[in-house]
């Protein structure tokens, strides 16, 4: 994948849903970014019209203070006009409104990078985990061409569900090395922050495990095939891994952890005999992705997959902030007596599971020359 040799400077960006759990992480990351600059913020009518620091008063949940670059920006309603000067729009909008709002921003010729689920299944919308399938961004020109009227600059790219994101990174490493997977069984233990703020009531989650997250299992089972699949030969849509159907069975649970989704995963390979646990370990450790090289985007982790050797790792409290949450942690790689190999995955749901993925997707799209700056 070719990369641009020119590093952009001073790229103005807007954040929709800037006051929420994901939005706050965007603010924190963009304030420190080498070339993105906060230009406009949006949220609901409850926040609109106030300076950002007042809009988030009492609900700023980051461990660092509100960045100066955001404090006094006025929060707008989520309509395109106040965002006119933005080259990129990041969306951390509630899914109840994200679909229509993001479509309106695309119509207004904005490049939209969304965390919300609404457009993920659109046949021409890339669903991109930046460590896995940035090549899907090449569908952007076709997406623009089929809008009515056709667009010059506007498009929507989504990132995946936060649990799907952690899962597909090791799966893609395994498929690249050993060919298509046949079956995946995954059980998630998802952090409370995944449900936004204020999210799950404390009386439901303390001293408890809730074995149901609405719609989550279906997302893991469906999104995995779109992400691990390719683009059809005519370049107009995604093949959903159709040549070698991948069976995924997910069981999703909410656990009393603040940040970091843990997943236990068992896989069956098509290839017989399958690789050994030691071969799987070496493959995961050696995995590199285009975001690291040749694209060399600034938010890419040094190591896409960190393999823990300690028998009791990864753990969310200890490992979720490793590499600023931009990589994926794997551990306990061993033989599975039912499928072939099993292991544990931990990924930070608000970093690589959300804001970091969107930011990296935008960096990659810029490096691929797909964003008009």
Cβ-proximal residues to 275 (8 Å cutoff; 6+ apart), any chain: 174, 177, 178, 269, 283, 340, 341
User: Out of 108, 213, 296, 336, which residue is the one contacting ligand PHD (CB under 6 A)?
Assistant: 213
Q: How far is the CB of 151 from ligand PHD (least distance, A)?
A: 25
31 makes contact, choosing from ligand PHD, ligand NDP, none, with CB < 5 to 8 Å by partner type, with none
Which of the residues 260 through 319 are near ligand NDP (CB under 6 A)? none
Catalytic site residue 119?
Answer: no
SS (H, E, C) 236-303: CCECCCCCCCCEEEEEEEECCCCCCEEEEEEEEECCCCCCCHHHHHHHHHHCCCCCCCCCCCCCCCCC
Cβ closer to ligand NDP: 164 or 266? 164
Q: How far is the CB of 251 from ligand NDP (least distance, A)?
A: 19
Distance of alpha carbon 119 from alpha carbon 365, whole angstroms: 18
Count CB neighbours of 44 within 10 A: 16
| Per-residue interface string for the shown chain with ligand NDP, residues 67-96, x marking contact by CB under 6 A | -----------x-------------xxxx-
Strands 36-43 and 341-347: unpaired
Q: Binding of ligand PHD at residue 117 (CB under 6 A)?
A: yes
Cβ closer to ligand PHD: 260 or 314? 260
User: Out of 27, 43, 129, 184, which residue is the one contacting ligand NDP (CB under 6 A)?
Assistant: 43
Cβ closer to ligand PHD: 93 or 173? 93
Which of the residues 179 through 208 are near ligand NDP (CB under 6 A)? 193-194, 196-197
Q: Binding of ligand PHD at residue 216 (CB under 6 A)?
A: yes
User: Out of 104, 195, 255, 373, which residue is the one contacting ligand PHD (CB under 6 A)?
Assistant: 195
Residue-wise DSSP of 78-97:
S-SGGGTT-SEEEE---HHH
Q: Binding of ligand NDP at residue 116 (CB under 6 A)?
A: yes
* φ/ψ (deg, to 5) at 180: -60, 140
Cβ closer to ligand NDP: 281 or 320? 320
Half-sphere exposure of 206 (CA within 13 A, CB side): 3
Task: Kindly tell me the burial class for residue 2, based on how many C-beta atoms sit within 10 Å of its own C-beta (0-12, 13-18, 19 or more).
Answer: exposed
Q: Which has the closest alpha carbon to 174: 39, 20, 285, 9?
A: 285
Q: How far is the CB of 207 from ligand NDP (least distance, A)?
A: 22
Q: How far is the CB of 163 from ligand PHD (least distance, A)?
A: 6
Which listed range, 27-35, 41-49, 167-175, 335-343, lies at the site for ligand NDP (CB under 6 A)?
Answer: 41-49
94 makes contact, choosing from ligand PHD, ligand NDP, none, with CB < 5 to 8 Å by partner type, with ligand NDP
Q: How would you list the strands of the sheet with 88-91, edge to edge?
A: 75-77, 36-43, 11-16, 88-91, 111-114, 155-158
Q: Which has the closest alpha carbon to 323: 352, 292, 344?
A: 352
Name the helix (H) or strand (E) containing 335.
Answer: strand 328-335
Task: Kindly tell me the burial class for residue 53, based on how many C-beta atoms sit within 10 Å of its own C-beta (0-12, 13-18, 19 or more).
Answer: middle
Which listed range, 65-73, 75-83, 111-119, 305-313, lies at the site for ligand PHD (CB under 6 A)?
Answer: 111-119
Count CB neighbours of 208 within 10 A: 13
Catalytic site residue 261?
Answer: yes
Residue at shortest CB range from ligand PHD: 194
Catalytic residue IDs: 162, 261
Which chain residues interact with ligand NDP by CB under 6 A? Answer: 17-23, 43-44, 46-47, 78, 92-95, 97-98, 115-117, 162, 193-194, 196-197, 349-350, 353-354
Name the residues that contact ligand PHD, by CB under 6 A. Answer: 95, 115-117, 161-162, 190, 194-195, 213, 216, 219, 349
């Amino acid at each position: 994948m070719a990369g641009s040799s020119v590093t952009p400077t001073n790229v103005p960006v807007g954040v929709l849903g800037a006051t929420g759990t994901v939005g706050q992480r965007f603010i924190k990351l963009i304030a420190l970014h080498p070339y993105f600059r906060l230009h406009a913020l949006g949220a609901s009518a409850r926040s609109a019209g106030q300076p950002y620091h007042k809009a988030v008063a009492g609900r700023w949940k980051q461990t660092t203070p509100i960045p100066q670059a955001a404090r006094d920006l006025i929060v707008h309603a989520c309509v395109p006009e106040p965002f006119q000067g933005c080259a990129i729009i990041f969306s951390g909008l509630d899914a109840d409104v994200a679909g229509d709002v993001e479509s309106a921003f695309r119509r207004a010729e904005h490049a939209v990078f969304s965390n919300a689920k609404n457009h993920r299944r659109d046949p021409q919308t890339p669903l991109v985990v930046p460590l896995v399938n940035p090549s899907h961004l090449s569908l952007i020109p076709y997406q623009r061409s089929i809008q009515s009227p056709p667009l010059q600059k506007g498009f929507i790219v989504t990132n995946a569900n936060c649990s799907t994101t952690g899962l597909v990174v090791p799966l893609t490493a395994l498929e690249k090395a050993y060919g298509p997977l046949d079956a995946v069984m995954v059980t998630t233990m998802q952090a409370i922050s995944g449900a936004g703020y204020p999210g799950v009531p404390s009386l439901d989650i303390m001293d408890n495990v809730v074995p149901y997250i609405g719609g989550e299992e279906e997302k893991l089972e469906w999104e995995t095939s779109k992400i691990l699949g390719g683009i059809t030969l005519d370049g107009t849509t995604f093949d959903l891994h159709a040549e070698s159907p991948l069976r995924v069975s997910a069981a999703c649970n909410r656990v009393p952890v603040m940040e970091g989704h843990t997943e236990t995963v068992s896989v069956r390979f098509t290839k017989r005999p399958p690789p050994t646990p030691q071969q799987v370990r070496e493959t995961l450790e050696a995995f590199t992705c285009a975001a690291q090289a040749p694209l060399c985007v600034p938010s890419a982790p040094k190591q896409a997959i960190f393999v823990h050797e300690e028998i009791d790792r990864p753990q969310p409290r200890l490992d979720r902030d490793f590499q600023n949450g931009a990589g994926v942690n794997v551990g306990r790689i061993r033989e599975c007596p039912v499928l072939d190999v099993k292991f544990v995955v931990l990924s930070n749901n608000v970093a690589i599971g959300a804001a970091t993925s969107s930011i990296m997707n935008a960096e990659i799209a810029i490096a691929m020359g797909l964003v008009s700056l």
